[in-house]
Amino acid sequence: MSTLLSSPVTAAQQQRDLLLGALVGLARSTVNEPKTEDTDHVLAAGLRLAAKPEADTTALERMRNIVETEKHRVAPNCANCTMRCGNTDNYDLTRLWNAPAEVRTLKLELLAALFALAQRRSTERIADEIRNDLFVLAEDWDTTLLSPIVPRAQELCRW
């Protein structure tokens, strides 16, 4: 496994995890609120940057700020909510790194497919898949629930 998709050690890897967690939060914010005309572009741009092993901490942090700004545009009331439901919270990738090996492997395969999808010319189907699969990353699903999702994303990478 590449160091890109491994538990973070360097500052850049930690920033990458924070960016990926923010992307999950943005995707989850679109479940109950309508996305903006920029949401899909921000998600794809964030994934493209996160997929670059040479991305530096400054670029990753700057993109995370863009993602957070977009999330607050999509769900403006969530930022100051006093009765937090957690639906738009950023995902803590520590949960992924500490997941059982089979779940972690499936989620990393899903993340790799998301990186590949973000490189493609966006279509509504690809944008929907990216949002849906980012949502799935934060779910505590077992291999039975995850197993059909990964091949679907991988297949879309091939079309």
Structure tokens at 53: 């092993």
Look at residue 86 in the predicted model and tell me its pLDDT. Answer: 64
Structure tokens at 129: 């898949």
Q: Global pTM?
A: 0.91
Rounded to 10 deg, the angle between the 11-29 and 39-50 helix axes is 160
Distance CA 67, CA 73 (A): 10
116: how many CB neighbours lie within 10 A of its CB?
16
Look at residue 1 in the predicted model and tell me its pLDDT. Answer: 41
Q: What is the mean pLDDT of each run of 10 residues along the chain (159 residues)?
A: 62 92 95 92 97 94 96 81 70 93 95 94 91 94 93 88
Distance CA 133, CA 24 (A): 9
What amino acid is encoded at 23 in this protein? L
Look at residue 73 in the predicted model and tell me its pLDDT. Answer: 92
Distance CA 57, CA 27 (A): 22
| Torsion sign, CA atoms 48, 50, 55, 56 | positive
